[in-house]
């Protein structure tokens, strides 16, 4: 099954609006994916990941649409940098939630693979 990938939240949301009629179960999955950095084991990378499935007329899932937006590195030392990264992630998730609310689509945690 093909996966359509985006890094731009605006492009992801525009595609979501176009896919509204074929959105499987009217659910968008959205989460903060935190992974170890390749540069240092003490640094973690935060990426907002959002996914939804598109179905055809028979109800069969034909595509997975995915947003992967890097927000920054979490250092875990003091405030400042981490707060900026977390606020960026929150702003992206809020943008997706607003579009979903306008389409009467449920937002749930997790991601489709």
| Residue 111 belongs to some domain of the structure | no
| Residue 110 belongs to some domain of the structure | no
Report the C-alpha gap between 50 and 95 in whole angstroms. 11
Instruction: Provide the domain limits for residue 48.
Output: 3-103
User: Which of 113, 2, 111 is closest to 48 using CA atoms?
Assistant: 111
| Residue 112 belongs to some domain of the structure | no
pLDDT of residue 39: 84
| Residue 51 belongs to some domain of the structure | yes
Domain count, the chain: 1
| Residue 9 belongs to some domain of the structure | yes
pLDDT of residue 40: 85
| Residue 109 belongs to some domain of the structure | no
pTM of the model: 0.92
| Residue 97 belongs to some domain of the structure | yes
pLDDT of residue 60: 94
Q: What is the DSSP letter of 86?
A: H
| Residue 69 belongs to some domain of the structure | yes
61-74 vs 106-108, strand pairing mode: unpaired
pLDDT of residue 80: 80
pLDDT of residue 41: 81
pLDDT along the chain (113 residues), means of 10: 95 98 96 92 94 94 97 85 94 98 97 88
| Range 58-77 burial, b when 16+ CB lie within 10 A, else e | eeeeebbbbbebebbbbeee
């Amino acid at each position: 099954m093909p996966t359509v990938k985006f890094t731009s939240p605006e492009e992801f949301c525009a595609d979501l609006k176009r896919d509204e009629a074929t959105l499987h179960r009217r659910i968008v999955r959205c989460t903060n994916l935190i992974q170890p950095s390749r540069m240092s084991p003490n640094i973690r990378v935060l990426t907002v990941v959002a996914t939804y499935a598109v179905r055809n007329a028979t109800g069969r899932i034909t595509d997975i649409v995915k947003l992967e937006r890097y927000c920054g590195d979490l250092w875990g030392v003091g405030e400042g940098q981490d707060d900026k990264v977390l606020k960026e992630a929150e702003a992206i998730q809020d943008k997706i939630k607003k579009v979903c609310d306008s389409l009467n689509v449920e937002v749930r945690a997790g991601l489709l693979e």
